[in-house]
Amino acid sequence: MSGPVRADDLGRELCRALSGAVERTAPDGDPAFLASYEPGPDEKEVPLPLRGTAFSYDNALAATVLLACGDLRRARQIGEAFLIAIESDRSFEDGRVRNAYRSGPVRERPVLLPGWWDAANKRWSEDRYQDGTATGNVAWVGLALLNLRDATQDSRFEKGASRLAAWIRARTSRHNAPGFTGGLDGYDPGQASLTWASTEHNLDIVALGTRLSKPDDRAMAASARTFLDAAFDGQAGCFRMGTDTKGHMRGVEAVALDTQLWPLLGVADPPAAWRRALACATARLSVPGGFDFNDDRDGLWVEGTAQAALTYHSVQDEAAAGVLLQTLAGQRAPSGWVYASREARLTTGLRIGPASTEDDFFYFRRPHLGATAWAALAALGYNPFTGRRVR
């Protein structure tokens, strides 16, 4: 595509790429999960821990995007895979979803988790984060199921979302404090609770609980909203990232991009003061062409730049959104997906799990399902939290 990109054209191209990925993964129409990464420009294959790994968050986004694209059949394939996963876990019967599953058609029960053969040690290996359950990922799967419910009027999708909401309440409610903690980490069966609480996760829960109808769901949304209000630093105009492991709210010495943007998308009629978080993001996280994940500004985070484009759409700043869409159009891989980062490696300042002793959560220049999904949402002007268009 040469010259200035048109949002509608970009949206159609990304929709085509995502539909094609489902078709290649499960051409017979089976329930399926999509692999989250494709090899980067200088790779023949992605690293073993990511090979064949379908992250739940990425797939929840993909299901919602396919609905926005008008591809209900392929959106259902992912949604049906999640319904099976909720009911058929290899170790637990509490209605959770894992952070990741094995990509491909879902034909086995229980649903397979990712892993790889460690030839050097002659054993099967798994990743503790992928086996775990992050609260925000549970909420995102619930939102995708509600979007499918609205599109299909199939009550099974609402029942699945309700079971996920019940899991959040049962396993992550904070004691004597509003909001919800980070979830569970580690290998089966002895997973450990994560005691910190994330602003981003609690925003996801606000959106999920608001769209469910039972009193427990509304109370869950209210509790998470109280946490969200406390996380906004009115003096700085920024959202804090959440609490530390002891439950103390962190400051704004470090901020993350999605935490500044998502409250404007996920909460109906957000307070006017929250719009200052866009200025916070611009002042602390902007880089040429878009935004970084965190404030070290070592590169462009493509997924977050797409989130910013959609947020600008939502506040009717079409000029700012248009600039970011141009950036997204320039980050497409030959497959039609977009890269996770513009630079070879992008830091986040985060650690993947409690066992990590140093910051080890990075994005690399590989085609990424999550980044592609957010770019499509931005181009289509579609809000995944509400299942509605913003323009």
| Mean pLDDT along residues 196-203 | 98
What mean pLDDT comes out for the span 100-122?
A: 96
pLDDT, mean over the chain: 96
Averaged pLDDT, 347-364:
82
Q: DSSP code of 120? A: T
Q: Is the pLDDT of residue 1 over 70?
A: no
**Interatomic CA distance for residues 157 and 64, integer angstroms:** 13
- 144-157, pLDDT tens digit by residue? 999 999 999 999 99
Burial class of residue 98 in the structure, from the number of CB atoms within 10 Å of its CB (0-12 exposed, 13-18 middle, 19+ buried): buried
Q: Is the pLDDT of residue 129 over 50?
A: yes
Whether residue 358 is predicted with pLDDT greater than 90 in this model: the reply is: no
Residue 342 near residue 300 (C-beta atoms within 8 A): yes
320-336 pLDDT per residue, tens = 999 999 999 999 999 99
73 has a pLDDT exceeding 80: yes
Residue 89 near residue 108, CB atoms below 8 Å: no
CA angle 61, 182, 78 (to 5 degrees): 25
- Three-state DSSP class for residue 364: strand
- CATH code for the part of the protein at 7-116+125-382: 1.50.10.10
pLDDT in tens, 3-31: 577 889 999 999 999 999 999 999 999 99
Q: How far apart are CA 111 and CA 89, in angstroms?
A: 6
Q: Which of 68-82, 100-114, 355-369 has the lowest mean pLDDT?
A: 355-369
Percent of the chain with pLDDT over 90: 94
Q: Residue 357's pLDDT is what?
A: 64
Contact assessment for residue 233 and residue 284, using Cβ atoms and an 8 Å cutoff? no
Q: What is the pLDDT of residue 6?
A: 87
pLDDT at 218: 97
Mean pLDDT to the nearest integer, 266-295: 96
Q: Which pLDDT score is estimated for 3?
A: 59
DSSP-H helix ranges across the chain: 7-25, 56-69, 72-87, 128-131, 135-152, 155-172, 199-211, 215-231, 257-266, 276-285, 302-314, 318-329, 369-380
